[in-house]
Structure 1
Amino acid sequence: MSAGEWLYAGMAPRHSNMVQYVVEGSGTLDERRLTDAVARAAEASPGTRLVRDGRRLVDGGVPPRVRVMEAGSFDGRLLDAPALRDVLRSPGATFEVLLFPGGTQGPDSDEAPVTVVFRASHGVTDARGLMLWIEDVFRVLRGSEPLGAPSTLSRDEFLEDLDLPGGLPPIPRNVGELAWSSPLGPLPRKPSGIIWRRRSVDGSHPAATAKVAAAVAAAYGPDGNGRFMVPVDLRRHAPGIRSTAWLSQAFVLGVDAGDSWQDVHGRALKALADGAELAVRTDPKMLKTPLPLIRMFSSAVDRTAVRNDRYSALSFLTHLGTYDLVSFDAGGFTATALYALGGTGPGAPPSIDMVESGGRTEVTLTWQDGPGVAERARELLDVVEEALSPRANRVWAGNDTARELESSASVVRRFREQVRRTPDRVALSGPEGPVTYGELSRQADAVARALRDRGVGPGTVVGLLADRSVALVAGLWGVLRAGACYLPLDAQHPDARLSGLLSDAGAAYCLVQEAHGRRGVVPEGCERLALGELTAPIGPDDGDEPPFTDVEVSPRDLAYVIYTSGSTGRPKGVQIEHGSLTHYAEWATREFGVDAGTRLPLITSPSFDVTGTSVFLPLLAGGEVVLMPQEPSHLSLRRLLQSSGATMLNLTPSHLDLIGQLDISPRGYRSVVVVGEQLRVEVAARAQEMFGPRCRIINLYGPTEATIGCTTHTFRVGEDTGVAVPIGLPGDNTRVHLLDAGRRFVAPGEAGEMYLGGTQLARGYLGRPDLDRERFVRLADGSRAYRTGDLARVLPSGSLEFVGRIDDQVKVRGHRVEPTEVARTLEDHPGVTRAVVIARARPGSTSKALYAYVVTGLAAEEQDSLTKELTAYAAERLPRYMVPAAITALPELPYTVSGKVDTKALPDAFAQAPGAAADADAAPQGPLDPLEEAVAEVWARTLGVERSRLEGRSDFHRLGGDSLSLLTMIAGVCRSVLDAEGEEAFMAELAQIVGEPTLDQVVALCRKVTRSPDAADRP
């Protein structure tokens, strides 16, 4: 035994100074598995089985005991479980484990987590020694071998073995003098045991020890002075040693009045550089002192300290390190928190222990209990929290969003009630004719009845493949009425992708519109159901069939699953619950002014979550959905705006930009909701002028993971003068937190990553617990938040402004695209060995397109045909908006010195692209008649390229155009070259243009439909 270990052996039991770590988690942890893992880890670390034999500690051969406590009896907030204060139960034991299985804490409390407490006597180990063993226990639980801690050196032996210049420093005097009043105030003569209090602080905090010391000294030290005992792990002097022994000692850190935390930090670093902790050690002569005398002496010290309110320092201040919570996972158990419970000894001040894990700093305060100590402990923790995370950074007035739902009814019940109130009112209009609420409800009932007859219910995923049609809306409501959740599929996507989504979601059934009945999208194990057959009348009395009885859904039941692009190379399904959808619908209905007079067109893809705004909001308010089955183009949008009778729009900024180029002045619109991409001020201003001052241009922000949208800002002419329109303020029961890379709250006005919290958060990703843990995190206050990857800041006006991304994710036509997913798809082709995909803005444009660079290993003459093949290959597997605008073959990729692809060194994808002029200054080839010249000028203006780069075989996409800019180009050609009759005929040939978007093809079609020889000369 070392002198320090002998000293602890002589202390009174209440001063045994236990070292304890608490691991909280979700799931289950089996007692038998835990007991086996404890025993195996102990075998590899014999120091965990020590018992005292005289002045020696020997391996007793018995592994630490696992005690199973009453379920739900551990309160991680108050830390008042009696078992935490117990002396070790087994005779002679020095380590043990407590397992709290979890359970309910009361009728108004959340479910208690599964909690494991690892305990050991500080007389044989320290925090790092205990942690080595804990990590091994979880290694064994995960099926791995323990690393072990085989060293048997005591602390005195360890110090003797250190090869230090000049040997160990002399032991300083007066280190243990009782000269400091406690920050927690005087104690009664006989304290009532140990008290712990815990505070979670968001983020990791460099120089946390210095920041806390400076703050505590300023608040509680006499005249701002203070002294702190800072324990240090001695293993830093021998990094190769693995030992569970007590190998820590403290150095004295002084704080003078007026010291900044930077001053204190510099002083602490110098102390560590000088090895100051090697001096503050127990005198070896202590080994000769009889244990009864030690006990008498320690009790006297304790009584003196309590009587005089004088202790050896203001605090023991310990930073115990940073840990990845994944290290404490086990099969069926996911760790959610890790923190330490300190101990106390004779004459010892309060202990402040800090552990960083899970993006948080867990702070635990330990001391002797007494009247008022709990309240003063809370005040001291307030000081610590303010030092690490100032309240001015944490609290933002924009997050004051609490609001009760007007009704707890789900959207299913709300729609049923609306049908009952207005069965004859028009619910859907469009090419299929008006459909009343009653007719739509009967079709939805038929779908719901068919699904229920097949056993469909809550938790069942049902695919929905339909155009923007009556069948789509009826199918959607039918799935929800059956209690299931729908998976909307975009009919424009390739069959292979749709089939993959249905398989990944585990969809049991897929509702398919007749127009897509022959497509091979339904995988094995998923049954195809024809929507037309389910909703068609079965006889003259079909209308008399009683309504289907809706399946009651809870707020936690799934409403829908929508897939987004995945950074790991595969799409991920976002699970939205009914409670989240209900909160969005109620807030957005009020925010956008939706009522029974609202007529809202359905423009966006069914697989785009913003479609929910167009479907749910008007139908829950007694309004009307205007169906627009054809793909948006300048012609279809012009007709919609001029003749549909719509009063509201819900679309992307790109579509709004396209509308802004139409020479029309729509009337009767009350609001235009813009979502999906950054809304530029110039686009918003043009829209405001077009729709008139009474129409609100509303910028809606929100990722799929936060149920369609969660912040809004109404554009203000003359006030919103930046490049982009602000994204505004959070909606009902939604919060936005701005955190830096260390998960710390940023100061007001600084940019930080947006973490979204509140009732609209998704359940998580379907079957992807790894992504859930990465993206859906717990903040220090216990609330759940989604990491968006979007950067924002709070403007002086109080609104949020979007400022960019922290990664490579890009928005294309409002859809999120992870370039990695596109690259992985290209790498699946046998001819590609490596691929990288980047997003760049086209010249003269702010919208981005995807460009791919591939390494093929082929000869140069073979690469051109392969890149064309790769475009077709990608189009068969990816949505159109994810197919690269250009694919360039390279012999190798350029890399930076750090080993990453040097995107700046990648060549211009279009400089030598087929169909582009080889020399930017070269004259255009071919005839220069007025019609071709007019079309070429539209191309150059749309693509932001020089006219000289265009020739007859120039390909629009190869020059950087995407599908939306193609529509812009077509609109420009119609406006500049064609008359009204020619425009109709030209748009009828849209499929040919999309299939072969070359300059020659567009010019040829213009010639075909142009009857007036001087049409090209019109302004």
Structure 2
Amino acid sequence: MTPEHFRRPISPTERLYLAATSPTSPLVIHLAVEGYGDLPLATLQRAVAEAAQACPGSRLIHQAKFWTDSGRAPTVHLLEPGTLDAQRFTDPPGFLRHTLPPEGPTCEVLLHPADGTRPGTVVFRAHHAVMDGRGVLRWAGEVFRALRGETPHPARSTMTDHTLLKELNQPAHHTHPIRTTLAAKAPWPTATSQSHGFLWRKRTIAGTHPALVAKLASAVTETCGLPQQRAMVPVDLRRHAPELSSTANLTLPIFLDTRPGTRWEELQRQLLDALAANAELASGPQQLASRVPLSALRHVLRTVTAASERRDRYLCTALISHLGRTDLESFSSGEFTASTVYSLPVQSPLVPLSLVAVECLGRTEITLCHPNGPQAADHAEELLDAIEETLSPRQARLWEGNRTARPTAAQESAESLVDLFRRQAAHTPDAVALADPQGELTYAELDRRSDTIACELQDLGAGRGSVVGLLMDHSADAITALWAVLKSGAAYLPLDPAYPDTRIRQILHDAGATVCLTHKRHADRIVPYGTLLLDELPQQPGRVPAADASPRPDDVAYVLYTSGSTGRPKGVEVEHRNLLNYVAWATRRYQVDRTSRFALFTSLAFDLTGTSIFLPLLTGGSVALVPGPLDHLTLRYALEECKATALKLTPTHLDLIARLGLHPSGFRTLIVGGEQLTGPLAAGTQRLFGPGCAVINEYGPTEATIGCVVHQFDPHRDAESPVVPIGLPVDNTKVHLLDADRGFVPAGETGEIYLVGDQLARGYRLQPRLSSERFVRLADGTRAYRTGDLARLLPSGVLEYIGRVDDQIKIHGHRIEPAEVAYPLELHPAVARAFVVARRPPGQTHHALCAYVTTRADVTAAALTRHLAEHLPRYLVPTAIIKMSEFPCTMNGKIDAAALPDPFSQHGDAEGKQPLYEAQDEIERQIARIWSEVLPLDAARIDETADFYLMGGDSLSLLAMFAGVTHLVGEQHQHGLMAELRSIAHQPRFDRVCAVVRGATSKGEDN
């Protein structure tokens, strides 16, 4: 449609808006879109011009009795940074105060760029005579659609409210609006708008809220305290014609009469009744406005407005407009991501107070407009306080546990982990830093060796902003290499040697690693990536890394990959300053000093190892490195022989320690994380480690740097509890429990954990969209990490972990997204579809990972297990894989997880099997007894083809079984037998275990 073909009549309502326009009442609608990212002026100008083709209502000028398309796109004005304060509009700047002349242009756009710390803002301005609030939303949406390069949704209807009423067979109401009783009073004393102008105020309230208009009206009523009040509520006429595509004024009001003491529920009933009766149609366009000349109408309105101000009598006390919920993605494009949308109320004559509400994701924006005058600003804040208390009670928003602010040296300086380590090495050069069965390494030696490697890394191009892979066991070389990477300025990327080669290469590629530090035995696993082999590195004492390459607090310290819901792992980028806050807090809380020695036996690719590395090495303590894969022998060394005073591990490890009959001694601190800790397990742990050992439950996702909520187990209070509380947030960290709409939940109710503070990671490596989905902005603009974990505040004032909001699973402390297991399963040519869940084996306290598949060709579960082992680490390989002819489904077509068969009862059925009491020899009888105790189950259910996993075992209960089996051959043969048993760990059938033990026994007899 060409410009000259688009025009529409000016409705009587729009004539009233034209007549009411004045310097003190500009009647301009402002819609503001705040966001982060780059939005160039030229790009916005092109989008505004393109959107004007779809929304010619943005190009209108006044010609006689019509609005006519001028053909000129709205102008885009670039504002100076800092000239727009989105929170306080005591004296609105000129560019927001001035009116838009009806002769044109009637619409314009303002661009206020971001200034680095605050978001940028795009303000869409439209004279109320050409658009209503919904119309401006539609126009702004088309501009952002153009910015995204999407097909426009034209809004070219010439319908007005007057013609729509005729189509709906609603005769225009003949009551003269000016002769309506002016009975309402202003909510608080003010001077006239002519002498003092008006003020705006904005308040952002957490969550979105049902019955919002009724609650706003209730808050206004109670705060103002007038004996009788009336609220005007605009209603969008488009609800009667959903197919109507227009930006014009299609809004007419209904009225709510209120008085103090009227509950919002009653107001909501009034509102719903009025909407059901189509009450807004009865207050339609005024015939006088169409008959009286505009100049005369303007004079009458000015006279009545002045009289109402003198008498303090108005048409209504407040105008309350709700623009509904906005989808922030509709106002985002390219590098610009919208964080909120709000609208500034129009200052209307005969209505002293105006409120506009807009609901966005996780927030409700309330804006207020009122004539300025003595104490008007204070009264406005008082009203907004009352509204906030109505929607989001203070008791739910403020929790004493969040009083965690504590200055740290890291906040006050430009230091990094490297600076702290160098200082410690200079202070205690001869103290033992690392110890293992082969010897000890002092701080001076660790400092010198890591310097040499750091220089080599810098020679290869590693430095600030780059990532270096670390493919090593938990050894002295690994810790040395870790510090070398940090000293080079790069971030280290820990890779577990137990990972399959495909996963190692995938992570290196995904992270964009420049080089990988490893040993010669692993070199062929990371081709074609560049490598630096530690066992071939020439000794070059005296070399030190370039000083200008030293990392800064906001540089990334490490990238740690966790399970991903899209089927691929995701890398969490943790900065030096995140770690420095954790180290400062944990060092004090766990009383770490020069006498502390942390045992380290977990993988470097597991973030809980950070506690065991950084805390002792930044305080003059030491790390006891426990060599080799985890089994009962390495655990015995860690607990009984390495002289450790502190240990960090998962509840599953504790359960294994209890079953192995180990006897730890000398421990002062035991930190438990990664999984939910039960009261009985904690009580048993306390007895095992002794009353002098503090058992501490530490909660924290990788995205919030190791641990951010903590609770010390109290044997007198927590032993009988099903679960041990996770406690209180650490220094400079806050926990908010929010509902599905991001509103605060009251104490005792379950909410999702949102974490705020200094330990929040930068985001996900090279995944900005995923980062923005999980690292969100709360209602007050604070950056938060949405954990997906549920918790509640107990009467004791501490937090209790409840579970997950999604289908994420925790197995042995590892966070597992089922999709990451299902995806490679479905890559197998024989698998049609895969579904992964967690199941608790009979008699076990922990869950195991189970997969169900439908197939398009014949394939065995063992073949699928081998396939997964080539792509996934051991902890992601399901304990059981069950073939199904089809999946059971719920009524809505989703897979019904509860109806899936129990894999353990299915594979553990003893019917038709030869019981083991007729075993071939004593070895079979003893191994059957061990299996029955570890799983636990009846030995009669075991035969020679029994698979340990399919009978309910998992990787850690497998270690308990192996420990029992090795005792059969004597202590001198245990290490050799364990090496043999590890080779069959991927498929531990009963007959294979027996064969390995017979072989080891016969070797012992030969010796």
User: In the TM superposition, what is the alpha-carbon distance from 1:446 to its structure 2 partner?
Assistant: 1.1
Alignment counterpart, residue 42 of structure 2, candidates 29, 32, 39? 32
User: In the TM superposition, what is the alpha-carbon distance from 1:918 to its structure 2 partner?
Assistant: 5.8
User: In the TM superposition, what is the alpha-carbon distance from 1:699 to its structure 2 partner?
Assistant: 0.5
- What are the within-5 Å matches in structure 2 for residues 309-348 of structure 1? 309-348=312-351
Answering whether residue 273 of structure 2 is matched by residue 275 of structure 1, we say: no
Q: Which residue of 1 aligns with 2:539?
A: 537
Alignment counterpart, residue 636 of structure 1, candidates 612, 631, 634? 634
Q: Which residue of 1 aligns with 2:64?
A: 54
Tell me which amino acid in the other structure corresponds to 2:315.
S
Contact 2:830/2:859 (<8 A) preserved: no
Deviations 1:211-251 (A, max 9, x none): 2222221222324x532111111000000000011000110
- What are the within-5 Å matches in structure 2 for residues 799-814 of structure 1? 799-814=798-813
Q: Which residue of 2 aligns with 1:456?
A: 462
User: In the TM superposition, what is the alpha-carbon distance from 1:436 to its structure 2 partner?
Assistant: 0.6
Alignment counterpart, residue 206 of structure 1, candidates 207, 210, 224? 210
Answering whether residue 98 of structure 2 is matched by residue 96 of structure 1, we say: no
In structure 2, do the counterparts of structure 1 residues 920 and 175 end up closer, same or farther at CA, with 3 Å as the change threshold?
farther
- What are the within-5 Å matches in structure 2 for residues 337-736 of structure 1? 337-407=340-410, 408=413, 409-519=415-525, 521-523=526-528, 526-534=529-537, 536-538=538-540, 542=541, 544-545=542-543, 549=547, 551-720=549-718, 721-736=720-735
Answering whether residue 881 of structure 2 is matched by residue 881 of structure 1, we say: no
Q: Which residue of 1 aligns with 2:770?
A: 771
Contact 2:455/2:545 (<8 A) preserved: no
Contact 1:75/1:81 (<8 A) preserved: no
Tell me which amino acid in the other structure corresponds to 1:901.
I
Alignment counterpart, residue 13 of structure 1, candidates 2, 9, 22? 22
User: In the TM superposition, what is the alpha-carbon distance from 1:113 to its structure 2 partner?
Assistant: 1.9
Q: Which residue of 1 aligns with 2:859?
A: 863
CA distance in 2, matches of 1:229, 1:180: 11
In structure 2, do the counterparts of structure 1 residues 578 and 311 end up closer, same or farther at CA, with 3 Å as the change threshold?
farther
Deviates more, 1:942-951 or 1:496-505: 942-951
User: In the TM superposition, what is the alpha-carbon distance from 1:995 to its structure 2 partner?
Assistant: 4.4
Tell me which amino acid in the other structure corresponds to 1:221.
G
Answering whether residue 266 of structure 2 is matched by residue 263 of structure 1, we say: yes
Q: Which residue of 1 aligns with 2:911?
A: 919
Alignment counterpart, residue 980 of structure 2, candidates 968, 983, 989? 989
Alignment counterpart, residue 64 of structure 1, candidates 74, 83, 103? 74
Contact 1:938/1:969 (<8 A) preserved: yes
- What are the within-5 Å matches in structure 2 for residues 996-1007 of structure 1? 996-1007=987-998
Tell me which amino acid in the other structure corresponds to 2:383.
L
In structure 2, do the counterparts of structure 1 residues 52 and 170 end up closer, same or farther at CA, with 3 Å as the change threshold?
closer
CA distance in 2, matches of 1:1008, 1:65: 86
User: In the TM superposition, what is the alpha-carbon distance from 1:303 to its structure 2 partner?
Assistant: 2.2
Q: Which residue of 1 aligns with 2:226?
A: 222
CA distance in 1, matches of 2:773, 2:394: 26
Deviates more, 1:548-557 or 1:708-717: 548-557
User: In the TM superposition, what is the alpha-carbon distance from 1:763 to its structure 2 partner?
Assistant: 0.8
Secondary structure in structure 1 of the residue aligned to 2:16: helix
CA distance in 2, matches of 1:765, 1:470: 29
User: In the TM superposition, what is the alpha-carbon distance from 1:469 to its structure 2 partner?
Assistant: 1.0
In structure 2, do the counterparts of structure 1 residues 807 and 548 end up closer, same or farther at CA, with 3 Å as the change threshold?
same
User: In the TM superposition, what is the alpha-carbon distance from 1:152 to its structure 2 partner?
Assistant: 0.7
Tell me which amino acid in the other structure corresponds to 1:823.
A
In structure 2, do the counterparts of structure 1 residues 879 and 550 end up closer, same or farther at CA, with 3 Å as the change threshold?
farther
Q: Which residue of 2 aligns with 1:965?
A: 957
Deviations 1:7-29 (A, max 9, x none): 11112423231111101111111
User: In the TM superposition, what is the alpha-carbon distance from 1:537 to its structure 2 partner?
Assistant: 2.1
Tell me which amino acid in the other structure corresponds to 2:184.
W
Tell me which amino acid in the other structure corresponds to 1:756.
L
In structure 2, do the counterparts of structure 1 residues 345 and 847 end up closer, same or farther at CA, with 3 Å as the change threshold?
same
CA distance in 2, matches of 1:547, 1:128: 61
User: In the TM superposition, what is the alpha-carbon distance from 1:50 to its structure 2 partner?
Assistant: 1.2
CA distance in 2, matches of 1:361, 1:152: 32
CA distance in 1, matches of 2:925, 2:303: 101
User: In the TM superposition, what is the alpha-carbon distance from 1:934 to its structure 2 partner?
Assistant: 3.7
In structure 2, do the counterparts of structure 1 residues 370 and 201 end up closer, same or farther at CA, with 3 Å as the change threshold?
same
Tell me which amino acid in the other structure corresponds to 1:198.
K
CA distance in 2, matches of 1:363, 1:1001: 70
Secondary structure in structure 2 of the residue aligned to 1:19: strand
Tell me which amino acid in the other structure corresponds to 2:201.
R
Tell me which amino acid in the other structure corresponds to 1:903.
A
Structure 2 residue runs of 5 or longer lacking an equivalent are: 1-9
Secondary structure in structure 1 of the residue aligned to 2:20: coil
Contact 2:735/2:755 (<8 A) preserved: yes
Answering whether residue 903 of structure 2 is matched by residue 909 of structure 1, we say: yes
TM-score (norm 2): 0.95
CA distance in 2, matches of 1:187, 1:426: 76
Contact 1:924/1:948 (<8 A) preserved: yes
CA distance in 1, matches of 2:600, 2:819: 31
Q: Which residue of 1 aligns with 2:3?
A: none
In structure 2, do the counterparts of structure 1 residues 573 and 163 end up closer, same or farther at CA, with 3 Å as the change threshold?
farther
Contact 2:791/2:802 (<8 A) preserved: yes
- What are the within-5 Å matches in structure 2 for residues 733-882 of structure 1? 733-858=732-857, 862-864=858-860, 867-882=861-876
Q: Which residue of 2 aligns with 1:45?
A: 55
User: In the TM superposition, what is the alpha-carbon distance from 1:90 to its structure 2 partner?
Assistant: 9.3
Contact 1:465/1:490 (<8 A) preserved: yes
Secondary structure in structure 2 of the residue aligned to 1:366: strand
Secondary structure in structure 2 of the residue aligned to 1:112: coil
Contact 1:599/1:624 (<8 A) preserved: yes
Deviations 1:348-396 (A, max 9, x none): 1311111111311111112222232222211111111111111111111
- What are the within-5 Å matches in structure 2 for residues 234-249 of structure 1? 234-249=237-252
Answering whether residue 96 of structure 2 is matched by residue 84 of structure 1, we say: yes
Q: Which residue of 2 aligns with 1:108?
A: none
Tell me which amino acid in the other structure corresponds to 2:899.
A
In structure 2, do the counterparts of structure 1 residues 689 and 548 end up closer, same or farther at CA, with 3 Å as the change threshold?
farther
User: In the TM superposition, what is the alpha-carbon distance from 1:282 to its structure 2 partner?
Assistant: 3.4
Answering whether residue 183 of structure 2 is matched by residue 183 of structure 1, we say: no
CA distance in 1, matches of 2:747, 2:195: 44
User: In the TM superposition, what is the alpha-carbon distance from 1:931 to its structure 2 partner?
Assistant: 4.3
CA distance in 1, matches of 2:928, 2:277: 75
CA distance in 1, matches of 2:975, 2:500: 28
Deviates more, 1:885-894 or 1:381-390: 885-894
Contact 1:850/1:883 (<8 A) preserved: yes
Structure 1 residue runs of 5 or longer lacking an equivalent are: 105-110, 1014-1019
User: In the TM superposition, what is the alpha-carbon distance from 1:941 to its structure 2 partner?
Assistant: 3.5
Tell me which amino acid in the other structure corresponds to 1:462.
V
CA distance in 2, matches of 1:181, 1:945: 79
For these two proteins, the number of residue pairs brought into alignment is 989
Q: Which residue of 1 aligns with 2:287?
A: 284
Secondary structure in structure 2 of the residue aligned to 1:811: strand
Secondary structure in structure 2 of the residue aligned to 1:351: strand
Answering whether residue 198 of structure 2 is matched by residue 194 of structure 1, we say: yes
User: In the TM superposition, what is the alpha-carbon distance from 1:304 to its structure 2 partner?
Assistant: 2.8
User: In the TM superposition, what is the alpha-carbon distance from 1:936 to its structure 2 partner?
Assistant: 2.2
CA distance in 2, matches of 1:879, 1:367: 63
Tell me which amino acid in the other structure corresponds to 2:436.
G
In structure 2, do the counterparts of structure 1 residues 945 and 208 end up closer, same or farther at CA, with 3 Å as the change threshold?
farther
User: In the TM superposition, what is the alpha-carbon distance from 1:496 to its structure 2 partner?
Assistant: 0.4
Contact 1:221/1:314 (<8 A) preserved: no
